[in-house]
Amino acid sequence: MENSARKCHSFTPISKQKIGEDFPFTLAAPSFVIPAGAAENARFLADFFSEIGLLFFETEACLKYSEADLPPDLASLPISWHVHLPLDLPWDKGIAAVWDILSKLLDKAAFLSPRTWVLHPPTQPNLLVPLADRFRAYGLDPIDILLENVEETNLAALWPEARSAGYSTCLDLGHIMAYNQYPLLELDGLWESTRMLHIYAPIHGSRHTGLTHLDEEGKALLRLMLSKFRGDTVTLEVFDETEIFQSIETLIRWMSQWSTQN
């Protein structure tokens, strides 16, 4: 499946060395780019990217992952990792129910030594502080837990709680555009807390497509975000092989143009 996926188009990926040379940050890929499992994707992407975001999007399916899905040899790949935690956590059932799931997934990914963990936050107040206490007791500093702006919350209502609990931020360009979340860019301390960007072009709402589909408004937002970004990882949240590599070349070209215009 992996080989046939790479033969479905004539695009030739650029070299990993070139990817590293052209950006002042780590450029990461999600663990679903070719139509195969996480392990096959990781082995393929490790030739081109220095970091992979392991997608634990669906709670039930990811809790069932075994060594067949996440074999031990993935830890020997010459890359770093981060993990995207589930989109369907049962926040309405309280911290205990959420932590039961999170702790199992933290254990499952621990052998990869992830640098950071991306979390879609609750919309309910007063959950982030006790959750931070759970992370600390587990041995994770909340600074390594990155709260993402999502459809349900642009983080503004949760911002004081998130800051006091010590979380960091993952800023998603597509969600800002799709859900008109531009005011969050003015949150006090946003850029100091932002350790990761998710970039892609949102089509038909928040559907993720390559950067070549960004309109002029999107390009301007991307340029602004990159100019203010002081974190270490930018994730191309594009789930298609052709489009993710085209996006890299597009990003290289745009950043080169922008640098000459400064």
The structural domains of the chain, with segments of one domain joined by +, span 2-261
CB distance 143 to 110 below 8 Å: no
pLDDT at residue 206 in the model = 64
CB distance 92 to 125 below 8 Å: no
pLDDT at residue 29 in the model = 97
Instruction: State how far the alpha carbon of 178 is from the alpha carbons of 42, 74, 167, 193, in Å.
Output: 29, 35, 24, 22
Q: Give the largest Cα separation in the chain, rounded.
A: 52
CB-based burial of residue 240 (10 Å sphere; 0-12 exposed, 13-18 middle, 19+ buried)? middle
Dig out the tokens for 13 from the structure: 């990926």
Dig out the tokens for 80 from the structure: 């770093």
Report how far residue 152's alpha carbon sits from residue 172's, in angstroms, rounded to the nearest whole number.
Answer: 13
Nearest to 84 by CA among 49, 109, 103: 109
Nearest to 30 by CA among 250, 233, 232: 233
pLDDT at residue 9 in the model = 40
Please, what is the angle between helix 241-261 and helix 216-228, to 10°?
Answer: 70
Report how far residue 153's alpha carbon sits from residue 91's, in angstroms, rounded to the nearest whole number.
Answer: 14
Domain 2-261 has CATH 2.40.110.10: no
Q: Where does residue 159 fall: left (phi above 0), alpha (psi -120 to 50 degrees), or beta otherwise?
A: alpha
Question: 3-state SS string over the chain?
Answer: CHHHHHCCCCCCCCCHHHHHHCCCCEEEEECCCCCCCHHHHHHHHCCCCCEEEEECCCHHHHHCCCCCCCCHHHHHCCCEEEEECCCCCCHHHCHHHHHHHHHHHHHHHHHHCCCEEEECCCCCCCCHHHHHHHHHHHCCCHHHEEEECCCCCCCCCCHHHHHHHCCEEEEEHHHHHHCCCHHHHHCCCHHHHEEEEEECEEECCCEEECHHHCCHHHHHHHHHHHHHCCCCEEEECCCCHHHHHHHHHHHHHHHHHHHHHC
Q: Give the residues of the chain that fall short of pLDDT 50.
A: 1-11
Radius of gyration of the chain (CA): 18
Report how far residue 194's alpha carbon sits from residue 206's, in angstroms, rounded to the nearest whole number.
Answer: 21
